[in-house]
Amino acid sequence: MRLTRRLLLLSAPLALAGCSGTILATQPAARRTDWPLAPPPPAGASGMAGRGVILVRMIEAGPQFQGRGLLTVTADGSLRRSYYQRWAAPPGAAVTASLTDWLRASGDFKAVVNEGSGLDTDVAVEGTLDTLEADPTQHLARAALTLVVARVEALSDVPLVQRRLTATAPLTGRTAQAAADAQNAALAGVLRQAVSLVARVAPRHTR
């Protein structure tokens, strides 16, 4: 009798472990979703392709914005990073590619290149992405980019202008899709200002 009771007691945890393993195995694993950070440039070039050759250097991301997880402002003002909802590319690289695309699509410049192209360039553009977040309490998304535009010289660049460009966009829901869409829209507002700024200060092509 004692032996039987001991066997039952020993087998009970094993049975529970087997049940819990079965329960865990049937639960669907959470899936990661990658969202594009690439607002499309407006259609239609201005036809003023005489503003020189533009070099777009890598846009750096501020310390809080280097990760790929989507950022949400919580009720207490802190930032929460999502583990499962991410940008498809690191924000700095994505903004660099988008800025290049927007400058090219504007038609204002003879050429727009990235580092390593080999072309002689007239103006260099670089900067830092220091805001990219969704704020459900305010029902909006924010983006901000500090941009530096400089004339390229043989020995060193000559700064022409430095400006912090900011934009917001409505946040229409609390889903990841809504957050990604709103942040793309806010970034589009920043990129629109960036193209205008570069076109305003870039000299006409002389080579």
pLDDT value, residue 132:
98
Is-contact 190 167, C-beta < 8 A? yes
Burial of residue 128, with CB atoms counted within 10 A of its CB: 0-12 exposed, 13-18 middle, 19 or more buried: middle
Q: Which residues of the chain have pLDDT under 50?
A: 1-24
Is-contact 175 191, C-beta < 8 A? no
Q: What is the largest CA-CA distance in the chain?
A: 101
pLDDT value, residue 203:
79
pLDDT value, residue 43:
85
In this prediction the pTM is 0.83
Q: Which amino acid is at 151?
A: R
Q: At a CB cut-off of 8 Å and minimum separation 6, what does 197 contact?
A: 147, 149, 161, 163, 165
What is the rounded CA–CA span in Å between residue 145 and residue 156?
Answer: 23
pLDDT value, residue 204:
74
pLDDT value, residue 156:
85
pLDDT value, residue 13:
45
pLDDT value, residue 12:
44
What is the rounded CA–CA span in Å between residue 63 and residue 81?
Answer: 13
